[in-house]
Structure 1
Amino acid sequence: MAYPKDLLLSRAVIKHGSYAIVPPEGLVNNVIPGFENCRVSILASPKMGASFVHYLVTMAKDGKNIQGFGGEGIETFVFCMEGKIKTYTQEKSAVLEAGGYMYCPPGEKLYLENMVDTETKLILYKQKYEPLAGAQPWVVVGNVNEIAERIYDDMENVKIIDLLPTDLAFDMNMHILTFEPSGCHPFVETHVQEHGAYLFSGEGMYYLDNEWIPVKKGDYIWFGPYVPQAVYAVGREKLAYIYSKDCNRDAAL
């Protein structure tokens, strides 16, 4: 860090209970018990209005969490953007490189260790699991580079990847949505589900609660329930992001 070279400005937009855009320039390091040699930024939490917690984690050499992340009633998910990590639970272990991910069901703690001398960059997620009688989710390991994209809503220039099974045992999913330049949503969505999205690449104009707002690579967006939302991809690169979605459960009274 250094003295500012100009006026203090920010692209951040925070509408508590509605939506938020969190650019990378404003992120700070949070000290989280259990994480060693890591920079951890909390991107979304219930303090904002989200029902989950999303993190951006940068692991330095020897970075790790060997105390465990998650636990009773909490499901977790980790996605490796850069570098290489070892992930494990009591029942399963895996080595994740760029594009690799692991989902851990409630009751299974997730352990993380950086396996390279350089930095490893992760997206980390946790939420309370909503049980369903007779159903139990399981540990899922995969890599997006080994999953075929499918066309999104009959639009050839928009593709989606589902990272978790479409099984009622899972009350959430993670997706990667990719828009070619000039790609867009087919309509303005207004729904009960909320999302947390981290932008991997490109630029776009996002429609959020009746406003058009520019977004780009490195931004994080939280979408609250029933917030009108849609995007146009702009610029020369594909716009791509990983996002969370609650699913497979009825609305509670």
Structure 2
Amino acid sequence: MSISFLRLIRIANFPSAVSNVWAGYVLASAGKVDSVVFGIGALSSGLAYSGGMALNDYLDRENDATEHPERVVPSGKIPALAALETAIALLALAVLTAGIWFNRQSFYVMVLITAGVMAYDAVLKRYWPTAGIGMGLCRGLNCLFGMSLIGQINLSLLIYPAAMFAYIGALTLLARQESRSAVIEKAVKFGLFGIVVLDAAFLFAYGYNWQAAAGLGLLVLMALLSRMFKMT
């Protein structure tokens, strides 16, 4: 696997997607963890996230040639067509994985996630009001995907994906300004780490202490990856 490919899919942010699934799954299963179910769910979520990032760079290639020439598509390290093919393959695999391994609810939620990712990359991110809503929905649905892995969604737990929706919506709007200020860029980076912290906070709040501590362990992985790969 090439370094350029890992940069394309923003591998440094991969643990944050896994964290959403972990928190959602633990909350919905009342702390009863099946490592196989979680592992495949995390893989499906990660595929969707990675596909979305590849699609983002393909669609932004002309703008990035001016604002982010160091990115792998405008720099020529990965051809634009290859980025598009990668995006399509990863998003399709995310849906197939959810459909084959899990229940209808998980499949439908993953379909909504991939549809949301494509809508965000193609249209929603271009406008201030819809950018935060679109990305917030994608992340909220990712949390819901983790909750759906047990075969049913407990409506009383919807406060968790709702909180993630609000947090990511605000972070997305802040990220739109990151090219204008190094301070904002750092704030966005810390905000991405905050996703894992918010996930763990919900687990602690519901009494799942060791699961919360395990989730916080993803911060170490994110920190290591962020030293090698850009997060935005």
TM-score for both structures, normalised by structure 2: 0.29
Higher RCO structure, 1 or 2 (CA under 8 Å, sep 6+): 2
Larger helix proportion of the pair:
2
